[in-house]
């Protein structure tokens, strides 16, 4: 149960980080700052990768031990 709550809240936090990074990417790219756009885009990609890896790893583990999948409510 604790692993499921951690995975759910950590994934939720990473979604919020991704939204902020994508906003920063769009702003930096629109204002002509290619370096900051690259940094922000890479941070968003890493955040999405971590989110998918964390959530899918937890779901795989829960299916193996016959538990309920992660959810917040």
Give me 47's structure tokens.
Answer: 């955040």
Short-list 45, 53, 5, CA closest to 21: 45
- pLDDT band of 73, cuts 50, 70, 90: low
Q: Evaluate if residue 1 carries a pLDDT over 70.
A: no
Q: Give the pLDDT of residue 43.
A: 98
* pLDDT tens digit sequence for 22-70: 999 999 999 999 999 999 999 999 999 999 999 899 889 888 988 877 7
- pLDDT band of 72, cuts 50, 70, 90: low
Q: Is the dihedral of CA 41, 10, 68, 60 positive or negative?
A: positive
Q: Give the pLDDT of residue 4.
A: 84
Cα gap 63→17, rounded to integer Å? 28
């Amino acid at each position: 149960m604790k692993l499921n709550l951690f995975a759910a809240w950590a994934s939720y936090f990473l979604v919020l980080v991704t939204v902020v990074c994508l906003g920063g990417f769009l702003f930096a790219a629109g204002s002509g700052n290619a370096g900051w756009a690259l940094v922000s885009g890479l941070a968003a990609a890493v955040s999405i990768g971590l989110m998918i890896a964390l959530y899918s790893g937890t779901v795989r583990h829960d299916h193996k031990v016959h538990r309920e999948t992660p959810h917040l409510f």
